[in-house]
Structure 1
Amino acid sequence: MCLGSMTNSLKTYQGQCHCGAVQFEFSAPETVDVTDCNCSLCRMTGYEHVFVEEADLRFLSGRDQLVSYKFGTKTADHLFCGTCGIKPLYRPRSHPGAWSVNARCVDGLNVARRIGFDGQNWDESIGGLHKSLET
């Protein structure tokens, strides 16, 4: 299930990179929370996070097309399509064992709320993000 979303019936969403080489689907509530982060990478790429539990995401194609990029603590595994360069999802530092799906790569998301996260001050802000996603 989608982390931090309102409890309601589940829907299967499909997402992909720009060229379609990487395709995936995930189960989440009909309304989801989207987290906007201001860290350097999210700010520069316009990435919008939808956190999904690991078991609820399935690759349909292209997992082997993903190229990894790690920086800073090298904990988060940022995954870009090796063909078109889009980052459709990644393994976040903030939610070990989960996926962060790029809301911009998923059609038909019904956003319940937008949560701001001060990724420029990650260590000081992560507790607040977790609390926001619990409510």
Structure 2
Amino acid sequence: MTEEAATVVRGGCHCGAVRFEALVRERRPEILDCNCSICSKTGFLHLFVPHEDFELVTGREDLVSYRFGSGQANHLFCGSCGIKSFYQPRSHPDAWSVNLRALDEGHGLDVEIKAFDGRDWEKAKAQLGNG
């Protein structure tokens, strides 16, 4: 994965079973800090990466799926250490949501963190990209 003016980031779970790399095309990607029930409890910070710019390097067989509420989001956890380093969100069906906190140190991204009111999901989703 290489591209001019883009950044390749790597990351994964705590035990190292799940490893990924992703191409981040934005110079200063917007990170969503969601306050929904699961994100607020886990401290997940959302970096959205289109499916075609994400590669799961190792750990496919280690991933465990969890769904709740509408069931549209597919939360993927490492079956060994329990860390959710990325998942399929319902808000961005064509992208993975990568946890900024699961990236390897020294990733080099300059990010902007923006609040996302996941407790009022429909309203917050409607406002994405409008600000």
Contact kept, 8 Å, 2:50 with 2:96, in 1: the verdict is yes
Separation in structure 1 between the aligned mates of residue 111 and residue 9 of structure 2, nearest angstrom: 15
Residue 97 (structure 2) pairs with residue 100 (structure 1): yes
Q: CA RMSD in A?
A: 1.4
Distance, in Å, in 1 between the alignment partners of 2:63 and 2:109 is: 27
Report the equivalent of 2:56. 59
How far apart, CA to CA, are the structure 1 residues paired with 2:32 and 2:110? 10
Tell me whether 112-121 or 86-95 shows the greater mean CA deviation. Answer: 112-121
Q: Percent identity?
A: 46
**TM-score (normalised: structure 2):** 0.90
Q: Distance in 2 between matches of 1:120 and 1:111?
A: 27
Q: Is this contact kept in 2: 1:36–1:49, CA < 8 A? A: yes
Give 1:109 deviation, angstroms. Answer: 4.5
- Paired residues of 1:52 and 1:100 also in contact (CA < 8 A): yes
The amino acid of 2:128's aligned partner reads L
The unaligned stretches of length 5 or more in structure 2 are: none
5 Å-filtered alignment, 1:7-26, equals 9-26=5-22
Q: Partners of 2:110 and 2:45 in 1: how far apart?
A: 11
- Equivalent in the alignment of 1:115: 114
Cα deviation code 1:17-48 (max 9, x no counterpart): 00000000000135322110000000000000
1:73-131 Cα deviation digits (max 9, x unpaired): 00000000000000000000000121000000002242331111000000111011233
Greater share of residues in strand: 1
Gaps of 5+ in 1: 1-7
